[in-house]
Amino acid sequence: MTNLFSNCLKYSPIGSTVKFSVITANEQAIFQTQDSGIGIPPNDIDYIFEPFHRASNASDIPGMGLGMSIVKQAVDLHGGEIRVESAIGVGTTFTVTLPFSRILNI
């Protein structure tokens, strides 16, 4: 979650709103982060979870391109899934769904 939050803050204008929500449904926890930042170009969406990949519009923002690959690995290890929706200049939403059975080690 730290990587998701830090990206929301890093890629959004100072003073903008960053949203976080948690809901439970169908034996799953669903976490969602939403920012109003620069957005991810459509050509980069398919690669955003690849190690060292940085979106083409993020060259002026510090980073190594590892944060989202770490998030994806953690989600996969917990048997979950992660989805991304983004629009240039509007922002990005990440939705992480994790099954309770893996969260609670049942």
Q: By the 8 A CB rule, do 67 and 1 touch?
A: no
Three-state SS across the chain? Answer: CHHHHHHHHHCCCCCCCCEEEEEEECCEEEEEEECCCCCCCHHHHCCCCCCCCCCCCCCCCCCCCCHHHHHHHHHHHCCCEEEEEEECCCEEEEEEEEEHHHHCCC
Domain-embedded: residue 106: no
Total count of domains within the chain: 1
Q: Is residue 73 part of a domain?
A: yes
Whole-model pTM: value is 0.90
Domain housing 6 = 2-101
Instruction: Write out the chain's pLDDT in tens, 106 residues.
Output: 899 999 999 999 999 999 999 999 999 999 999 999 999 999 999 999 999 999 999 999 999 999 999 999 999 999 999 999 999 999 999 999 999 875 555 5
